[in-house]
Amino acid sequence: MEIKFTNRGSTLIATFSGELDHHFAEYARNKIEGELLKATTRNVVFDLSRLSFMDSSGIGVIVGRYANVRKLGGNTAIICKDQKICRILELSGILKLMPICGDLEHAMNALASA
């Protein structure tokens, strides 16, 4: 699994690729936390559209980061295209915390109007 980071203004975009399971959850958590420490970050987009697999371990990674982003007054959004991954996210009730969007533009718009 790999996570790449890009910035758009004060929004950090974390693009996941490969497989996100319990084995890679800690790695993902630490990498994102490291980026969050950078003062410019306010909002975070979790781009899951390049993941080929995710189980419920991914929910813990996202919800844990959500809590930290909220503490600093920011918001989060998810980009998801895979039906199965979207279903796992929906089952967890994560939609109550952040929107699930089809692409980056929608995610940026959702954050702008949050």
Partner 1 sequence: MQPVNEMKLEFLSKSSNEAFARVVAAAFVSQLDPTLEELADVKTAVSEAVTNAIIHGYENKYGIIRMTCRQFDKSVEIEISDDGRGIENIEEAMQPLFTSKPDMERSGMGFTVMESFMDNVRVTSKPGEGTTVTLSKHFGSLDGRE
Q: In the complex, which residues of this chain contact partner 1 (CB under 8 A)?
A: 19, 21-23, 25, 29, 53, 55-57, 59-61, 63-64, 83-84, 87-88, 91-93
Query: Nearer to partner 1 by C-beta: 17 or 57?
Result: 57
Give the up-direction half-sphere exposure of residue 86: CA atoms within 13 A in the CB hemisphere. Answer: 10
The CB-of-73 to partner 1 minimum distance in angstroms stands at 22
3-state helix/strand/coil string of 1-22: CEEEEEEECCEEEEEEEEEECH
Query: Nearer to partner 1 by C-beta: 35 or 82?
Result: 82
The CB-of-55 to partner 1 minimum distance in angstroms stands at 4
Question: How many residues in total does the chain contain?
Answer: 114
